[in-house]
Amino acid sequence: MSAANHAPANPTEYIQHHLVNLRTPQYDGGFWTFHLDTFWISLILGFAFLAIFGLVARRASVDKPGKFQLFIELVVELVASTTKDVFHGKSTLVAPLGLTVFVWIVLMNAMDFLPVDFLPMVASWFGLGYLKVVPTADINQTLAMSLSVIFLTLFLGVQAKGLGGFLKEFFTAPFHAESLPMTIVLIPVNAAMQLIEYGSRILSLALRLAGNMFAGELVFMLIALLGATWTGFNFGSLATAFGQIVAGSVWAIFHILIVILQAYIFMMLTIVYCSMAVEEH
């Protein structure tokens, strides 16, 4: 549905309007639909992360560190200590990955703090009817990230154990038999269990993050709808406006915890899965 000049007529249509992604016209609604808003917003935030951390690294001072430098160092130390406690392999890739995942997800989650209608309104000036500003509320984004993590764990597993050792573990764990005939019998069972485990990791990473951020985005929309009841300077409208401000402020404060916690959980599980990939079973 083209919606360049489309204005929501009721609360239901308003919510539905904000839950639709900006898509490529040639694949709109199909299986291979490409969400342009998710792609561009996440890409811009990724470059913003690199620019900010790169700038702080270049201007870092040992004698007189600024407050922002101390804050960045606190974040880096948090990820480094977590990686040291959880990951016991030799790869130097895991800590930078954990930092990237944590900060990038925090930035994408934090897009929820922008006024619900602000960026969609700006997009409408350029003829764009739809725009979802929280990339992590899109299952496509979180699923792509979780698949990337799982592929990395496969790479680390092969790197640590060799291709032969990795395949041997894949087909002989978690059920191990002493005799060769029983080992052969258990190969399909072990392979099925391993596939289920990898599949559950992918879904748990993707659905947890997307579900929490989608719910948070929906609550902000419901709070924004309170403004639609404004009928003038009367007691009912003023009370509703006051309630909207209070509800929005309380939910925003609580949502800060959700934004950071979901990023930390994704980072922690990423490090845990990498650690499990290099350990012998």
69: in domain = yes
Number of domains in the chain: 1
231: in domain = yes
Asked whether the predicted pLDDT for residue 250 surpasses 70, the reply is: yes
Who's near 198: CB < 8 A, 6+ residues apart?
Answer: 150
pLDDT digits (tens, 9 = 90+) for 68-126: 999 999 999 999 999 999 998 888 899 999 999 999 999 999 998 888 778 888 888 88
Instruction: Report the pLDDT value the prediction gives residue 163, as an integer from 0 to 100.
Output: 93
Q: 52-67 burial by CB neighbour count: b if 16+ within 10 A, else e?
A: ebeebeeeeeeeeeee
Who's near 57: CB < 8 A, 6+ residues apart?
Answer: none
237: in domain = yes
Instruction: Report the pLDDT value the prediction gives residue 177, as an integer from 0 to 100.
Output: 75
Crossing angle (nearest 10°) for helices 235-278 and 94-110: 170
Instruction: Report the pLDDT value the prediction gives residue 79, as an integer from 0 to 100.
Output: 94
pLDDT digits (tens, 9 = 90+) for 3-37: 444 445 566 777 777 778 887 665 555 556 788 89
Q: Which residues are catalytic?
A: 204, 208, 212
Instruction: Report the pLDDT value the prediction gives residue 30, as an integer from 0 to 100.
Output: 58
- Check: CB of residue 111 under 8 Å from CB of residue 141: no
115: in domain = yes
- Read off the pLDDT of each residue in 169-197 and give the average, rounded to a whole number: 86
- Can you give the pTM of this predicted structure? 0.85
18: in domain = yes
181: in domain = no
- Check: CB of residue 103 under 8 Å from CB of residue 75: yes
105: in domain = yes
Residue 261, domain extent: 11-138+208-273
pLDDT digits (tens, 9 = 90+) for 129-138: 788 889 999 9
Asked whether the predicted pLDDT for residue 262 surpasses 90, the reply is: yes
